[in-house]
Amino acid sequence: MVEAVMTKSPATASAPKPILEIDNLEAWYGESHILHGINFNVRPGEVVTLLGRNGAGKTTTLKSIMGIIGKRTGSIKFDGQDIIKTSSDKIARKGIAFCPEERGIFASLDVRENLMLPPIVREGGLSLDQIFDLFPNLKERLNSQGTKLSGGEQQMLAIARILRTGARFLMLDEPTEGLAPVIIQQIGHTIQRLKSEGFTILLVEQNFRWASTVADRFYIVEHGKIIDGFANSELQANMDKLHTYLGV
Q: Which residues bind another protein (CB under 8 A)?
A: 66-68, 87-89, 91-93, 97-98, 100, 104, 106-109, 113, 116-119, 121, 162, 165
DSSP SS3 for 215: coil
Rounded CA separation 225/148 (Å):
38
CB of residue 116 to another protein, shortest distance in Å: 7
Q: What residues contact 76, with CB distance under 8 A and at least 6 apart?
A: 20, 21, 22, 23, 25, 64, 65, 82, 83, 84
Q: Tell me the closest approach of the beta carbon of residue 5 to another protein, in angstroms.
A: 28
CB of 165 to another protein, least distance (A): 7
Of 14 and 108, the one with the shorter C-beta distance to another protein is: 108
Q: Please, which residue, 60 or 207, has the CB nearer to another protein?
A: 60
Q: Which is nearer to another protein, 92 or 211 (CB)?
A: 92
Measured CA to CA, the distance from residue 106 to residue 100 in angstroms comes to 12
Query: Residue 76, CB half-sphere, CA atoms under 13 Å: how many?
Result: 22
Q: C-beta of 143: minimal distance to another protein in Å?
A: 13
* C-alpha angle 177-49-107 in degrees, rounded to nearest 5: 35
Nearer to another protein, 84 or 92 (CB): 92
Q: Which is nearer to another protein, 87 or 244 (CB)?
A: 87
Closest approach of another protein to the CB of residue 11, in Å:
31
241 vs 40, 74, 181, 206, 247, CA distance in Å? 19, 28, 26, 15, 10
